[in-house]
Structure 1
């Protein structure tokens, strides 16, 4: 499956889109002519175009040539409390860590996400016409293609709305100069409603399985992937009943199992396509993931925060041979040098790095542990902390987690804290931590603002902390500025309030 995606990616990018030279609004314009008049004739071409959407997440498509998964890691981790800067941390990344974002910061460049959105828009708009030109292209095949495109478009907008809040909402394809028109930002609530609408439609169109291999299903949008994204979106929207229902679809399907704790690293991040994985982006020798250079010692952009062993995963002071959480030392990070190990380690004992040409660690969007913890979060907010605690215990037992603070299954507030802390351990360095902190913090009119302030007290240097705290008390600062280039080229855009 990985080779299928990557080979097709080269075909699609070279023959269909040729996007790299465009410098106009949102950098979306494909080459004129081939898209409408020559390419959209057969079901194979539709399949290649759908594959191009996935592949655009793998490759460097943004204005500053970083892969989208690089952005996803940095957006989800740099502003939180799990990472520290390394010897190759850029000034832009250092500014993010220090809560000093400005509109010229390269990580405020959303163009790569909008390119992927446009790939999806092109499929949604042009694939239906192939029904008239290829009599072997069925309505079921079309539905499957459009469903994947809508789900991936929704996922990209979900990243954007959590990172920038209000952003331009573009649902039509940019296929010629005539389609390039400036548009203003749309409110976050409207975008979230569109995300839900896209996902609900996708759920009806995509299959539970594509009938190839289990690895193929892990790297494609299935109905299960749609359910996982929907659950996450509903949690962000504080719709806990709907979030719980989406998690139930995953749990009751009996299609996923937690991998054994002892093989946590190997199954999920070395072999990949694990029984636990719901949806991941997969790499192989044709396109390596960007994380090897991000986390190996000579190129290290990020390391693990020094407080993790004692304060997050815990230290066993009871047993003669100390027990370790399977997800912590020498799985998430290497104990000897606090390097981030998930993406570069070749074993779960911290000894050997993978060779650079074996840097295939997948980027996991959702796995079964996420379904269980999202379910726990939802039902706890619905007043069921006892039931939530049982789900948390399932995760902890798999991990052989140390009991740092006993779970209080009678207290909703305490259980919310326990769920957030368990997510910190379970998804360390998987690009979720900042979004988790912000989701919990903004709940109930920002009753949890201290979560963000406490994270800053860990990650921001002492000399800069007071300035960071003052910024973070303004809720608008929790979202990134609109990139200066976009402000200069689109007169209808307004800068995010904090940065005006």
Structure 2
């Protein structure tokens, strides 16, 4: 844990580096002047706002980072964590040794993608705001309690989101709720149980919900910063992971009944509106990449060193192909998620259904949540509380927008929880292809009721694993401790209080 939180120098310098290296005109309207030190920084509401906006800017990654280890862009990390262990991606010509290890479920503690430092770095930025923000009121009398509480709610919710990624990826993780400003503040922490971390996440979200705003007054901020609706959506996701279905439905309904969101119509401009431009009526929370801060996806998916491609059978297994009618196709498949000419992952690098972006316009957003997710989370919860018909209606709403073809339609009995779950998972695969959700979707449903559906993980492995390693992967997946990453070796080396996750001991 020591390396994880080792941040040198004055707190304000940390924020300055973060702000200037991650500048993005959709976020950074206010920023502190160069040379400001800690004692001079937390004095005005403008400085507080700049620090909060800096937390969001840190989601985009360092402009000076080399794309590895601590400097790896968060969107890169979240893609790998959410997709590489699942059944929809394969290695491209530039796939690294560490990524091959994840794709083949041969994950070592030396694998650089088990380095959680990029996520804890953002947690520390949030903790910095939470620790220092309240003190601004004694210096700036124009800062109201309502304004302060709203800023703190953003930091609380963003910290909760980062911990939610950690517990789904690692299981038990260190829970750090105070900031680290310098080497004198170093702490060495033990792991906290996943159950207790989830409880803290919900505590933070409930506190954030009470003070968050419904709107910032402009569309980009409403999609790129955390609102009450973002928090409702996050709560729904956490409740679903915890098998708290009724609270999940309640949280989803707060978003659905707000009238603030809707599915982008599945017409000719669907892809451009939702993915190329971003911040559509469907977006709830998106990483705001733009021309000043490009995303990492061009190198990941498009060059001759692309690290990932679509799985070889994704079009057949998920979207379906109607060989008898070329006009019958799922709009989410060819020309949207996948370029079937070269099997490239397409939605982040496409300019049109047949052409690619150029590197200078590689600023497709990373979606954390969009309205389709709310509908399908509610559907999943409904399946598990004897509301199968409601779930089927929601699934069909998604399918209708996407012009899903008859080959992928299923007709499970609405009382058949397993059959409905399989249909729901297939639809989530189509809807959120390559959006960093697939592994978490599979694991969440497999682990339910004491792993009553471990077959979900095993079936995914059978459909995607190379025949030569299939049996080894299946044997590993039968051990539930293997479903979480190991702790990165260097964290174990420098922090004697950390114990390696059981499967990797």
Q: TM-score, structure 1 length as denominator?
A: 0.92
Distance 2:73 2:43 in 1: 30
Structure 1 residue aligned with 2:375: 372
Structure 1 residue aligned with 2:6: none
Structure 1 residue aligned with 2:32: none
Question: Is residue 430 of structure 1 aligned with residue 435 of structure 2?
Answer: yes
Distance 2:225 2:158 in 1: 10
Structure 1 residue 413: Cα displacement: 2.1
Counterparts of 1:166-315 in structure 2, within 5 Å, are 166-211=172-217, 213-262=218-267, 263-315=269-321
Aligned counterpart for 2:41 among listed residues 39, 42, 57: 39
Question: Is residue 338 of structure 1 aligned with residue 343 of structure 2?
Answer: yes
Distance 2:262 2:42 in 1: 40
Distance 1:325 1:12 in 2: 50
Aligned counterpart for 2:391 among listed residues 388, 401, 411: 388
Structure 2 residue aligned with 1:106: 112
Counterparts of 1:133-172 in structure 2, within 5 Å, are 133-172=139-178
Taking a change above 3 Å as real, the CA distance of residues 17 and 401 of structure 1, as seen in their structure-2 partners, is closer
Distance 2:274 2:310 in 1: 19
Aligned counterpart for 1:414 among listed residues 419, 428, 451: 419
Structure 1 residue 406: Cα displacement: 2.7
Counterparts of 1:47-58 in structure 2, within 5 Å, are 47-58=49-60
Structure 1 residue aligned with 2:450: 445
| Native 8 Å contact 2:236 2:377 kept in 1 | yes
User: Helix, strand or coil for the counterpart of 1:84?
Assistant: strand
Residue-by-residue CA offset, 1:47-94 (whole Å, 9 max, x unaligned): 111111111110147744210110000000000010010000000000
Structure 2 residue aligned with 1:354: 357
Aligned counterpart for 1:83 among listed residues 76, 86, 89: 89
Residue-by-residue CA offset, 1:191-219 (whole Å, 9 max, x unaligned): 000000100111111101011x1122100
Structure 1 residue 411: Cα displacement: 2.5
Question: Is residue 15 of structure 1 aligned with residue 16 of structure 2?
Answer: yes
Residue-by-residue CA offset, 1:148-172 (whole Å, 9 max, x unaligned): 0000000000000000000000001
| Native 8 Å contact 1:12 1:49 kept in 2 | no
Structure 1 residue 146: Cα displacement: 0.3
Distance 1:259 1:285 in 2: 24
User: Helix, strand or coil for the counterpart of 1:287?
Assistant: coil
Taking a change above 3 Å as real, the CA distance of residues 204 and 430 of structure 1, as seen in their structure-2 partners, is same
| Native 8 Å contact 2:386 2:415 kept in 1 | no
Taking a change above 3 Å as real, the CA distance of residues 171 and 163 of structure 1, as seen in their structure-2 partners, is same
- How many residues in Structure 1 have an aligned counterpart in Structure 2? 474
Structure 1 residue 18: Cα displacement: 9.6
Structure 1 residue 459: Cα displacement: 2.7
Taking a change above 3 Å as real, the CA distance of residues 336 and 13 of structure 1, as seen in their structure-2 partners, is farther
Distance 2:14 2:498 in 1: 29
Residue-by-residue CA offset, 1:271-313 (whole Å, 9 max, x unaligned): 1101000111111122100011101041211101121122211
User: Helix, strand or coil for the counterpart of 2:90?
Assistant: strand
Distance 1:14 1:187 in 2: 31
Residue-by-residue CA offset, 1:350-409 (whole Å, 9 max, x unaligned): x21111010110001001100100000011111110111001110000000012243323
Residue-by-residue CA offset, 1:286-341 (whole Å, 9 max, x unaligned): 2100011101041211101121122211112443x341101111100111111000
Distance 1:265 1:94 in 2: 31
Question: Is residue 124 of structure 1 aligned with residue 126 of structure 2?
Answer: no
Taking a change above 3 Å as real, the CA distance of residues 12 and 240 of structure 1, as seen in their structure-2 partners, is farther
- Name the Cα RMSD after superposition: 1.8
Structure 1 residue 410: Cα displacement: 4.0
Distance 1:35 1:73 in 2: 36
Distance 2:270 2:82 in 1: 21
Structure 1 residue 458: Cα displacement: 2.8
| Native 8 Å contact 2:19 2:57 kept in 1 | no
User: Helix, strand or coil for the counterpart of 1:166?
Assistant: coil
Distance 1:19 1:187 in 2: 36
Structure 1 residue 19: Cα displacement: 12
Structure 2 unaligned residues grouped into runs of 5+: 1-11, 22-34
Aligned counterpart for 1:489 among listed residues 487, 490, 494: 494
Residue-by-residue CA offset, 1:214-250 (whole Å, 9 max, x unaligned): 1221000000000111100000000001100000000
Aligned counterpart for 2:77 among listed residues 65, 71, 75: 71
Distance 2:493 2:418 in 1: 45
| Native 8 Å contact 2:44 2:139 kept in 1 | yes
Taking a change above 3 Å as real, the CA distance of residues 282 and 241 of structure 1, as seen in their structure-2 partners, is same
| Native 8 Å contact 1:151 1:221 kept in 2 | yes
User: Helix, strand or coil for the counterpart of 2:134?
Assistant: helix
| Native 8 Å contact 2:336 2:346 kept in 1 | yes
| Native 8 Å contact 2:70 2:117 kept in 1 | no
